[in-house]
Amino acid sequence: MSSQDLIQELKERAGQLRRDVLEMVYRAQSGHLGGSLSAADIVAALYFHHMKIDPQNPQDPDRDRFIPSKGHAAPILYAALAARGFFPREDLWSLRQIGSHLQGHPDMRKTPGVDMTSGSLGQGFATGLGMAMAGKLNGQDYQVYCLLGDGELNEGEIWETAMAAVHFKAHNLIPIVDFNKVQLDGPVSEIMPIEPLRAKWEAFNWHVLEIDGHDMNQVVEGLAEARRLDRCVVIIAHTVKGKGVSFMENRHQWHGQAPNEEQYRRAMEELGGGQE
């Protein structure tokens, strides 16, 4: 596949993931849209290009791992897993309902393809470090990708892990910051500012790649570069919370709110979905 075809395909995948996420949250009338939509392009690139995974063998010990440390972005992970064939697409419509394997936050014991349980912010990065160290000890060459929220970076534990990963030379651990500038109560710049973010990571001895997290070329190149470099690399992906739905973009009110029918139709149209 030519690189232009690849980029085109990944863009289309990301579009479908966005539509699936919207439909999941609409049907459940519960779930986190803003932070799922901002991560859609990154997740599409990981699950449809970068990650070595086998839906027929979800427990393969040599597989790459993905941990949404910002576990409330579970819908975007579930949409990607279904699209890759880890479980039937219809399962997506059971999100958050009794008896479903799709919990509000990722559950590694219930959902095929989920590598780690998460949802209490600040913890997934450290569990990823543990997985990375196990890979090093075993001489395996898998990568561990962690998706971090920018609000999540308020947690001290994130910086404990940042310190430890460099010390233990966990070069197979790749954190990606979904830098969408918004947390739950409002803009990160007003609730608990994290700038200068690049300088913070550099002060912790990380190599920083800054990308536009919605430019698929940059996403694909950034992820490849992070894997190639033999040092601790963090990807700071500039994103838009609620990306793709005009009335959700940059609005903290859409962090964890479900759309009503009219909002759902408008959003689906903006995301390129046909009227059913």
Partner 1 sequence: MKGKALRDAFGEALIELGRENEDVVVLDADVSGSTRTKMFGDVYPDRFFNVGIAEANMMNMAAGLAACGKVPFVSTFSFLACLRAGDQLRTSIAYPRLNVKVGAGYGGMSDSFDGPTHHSLCDIAVARSMPNMTVVVVSDPNQTKKAVKAVAAYDGPVYLRLSRAEVPYVLPEDAPFVLGKGNLLREGSDLTLVVTGVPLARTMEAADRLAKEGVQARVIEMATIKPIDREILVKAAQETGAVVTVEEHNIMGGLGSAVAEALVQEAPVPMEFVGIKDTFCESGPYDALLDRYGLSVDDIVSSAKAVLGRKSRVR
Pairwise CA distance, residues 230 & 170, whole Å: 9
Figure out which of the listed residues 9, 58, 100, 200 binds partner 1, where binding follows CB under 8 A. 100
Q: How far is the CB of 191 from ligand TPP (least distance, A)?
A: 9
Cβ proximity to partner 1: between 105 and 266 the closer is 105
Q: Return the half-sphere exposure (C-beta side, CA atoms, 13 A cut-off) of residue 258.
A: 14
Q: How far is the CB of 67 from ligand TPP (least distance, A)?
A: 14
Pairwise CA distance, residues 183 & 8, whole Å: 31
Figure out which of the listed residues 126, 241, 258, 273 binds ligand TPP, where binding follows CB under 6 A. 241
| Inter-CA distances, 232 with 61, 64, 145, 235, Å | 23, 17, 12, 10
Cβ proximity to ligand TPP: between 65 and 181 the closer is 181
Q: Is 119 in the site for partner 1 (CB under 8 A)?
A: yes
Binding positions for partner 1, 213-252, rule CB under 8 A: none
97 binds, among partner 1, ligand TPP, Mg ion, none (CB under 5 to 8 A by kind): partner 1
Pairwise CA distance, residues 206 & 200, whole Å: 9
Q: Is 230 exposed, middle or buried (0-12, 13-18, 19+ CB in 10 A)?
A: exposed
Q: Nearest 5°: phi and psi at 143?
A: -110, 150
Pinpoint the alpha helices (H) of the chain. Answer: 3-28, 34-37, 40-45, 74-83, 124-138, 156-167, 188-191, 197-203, 216-228, 261-270
Cβ-closest position to ligand TPP: 149
| Encoded tokens for 196 | 């200068």
Binding positions for Mg ion, 180-219, rule CB under 5 A: 180, 182
Figure out which of the listed residues 68, 71, 128, 273 binds partner 1, where binding follows CB under 8 A. 71
Q: Which of these segments, 26-34, 170-178, 210-218, 243-251, binds partner 1 (CB under 8 A)?
A: 26-34
Pairwise CA distance, residues 244 & 19, whole Å: 10
Q: Is 150 in the site for Mg ion (CB under 5 A)?
A: yes
Pairwise CA distance, residues 27 & 23, whole Å: 6
Q: Is 96 in the site for ligand TPP (CB under 6 A)?
A: no
Q: Please give the residue ranges that form the binding site for ligand TPP (CB under 6 A).
A: 34-35, 38, 70, 72, 119-122, 149-152, 178, 180, 182-184, 241, 255
Q: Please give the residue ranges that form the binding site for Mg ion (CB under 5 A).
A: 149-151, 180, 182
Q: Please give the residue ranges that form the binding site for partner 1 (CB under 8 A).
A: 28, 30-31, 71-72, 96-100, 102-105, 107, 117-122, 151-152, 154-156, 183-185, 191-192
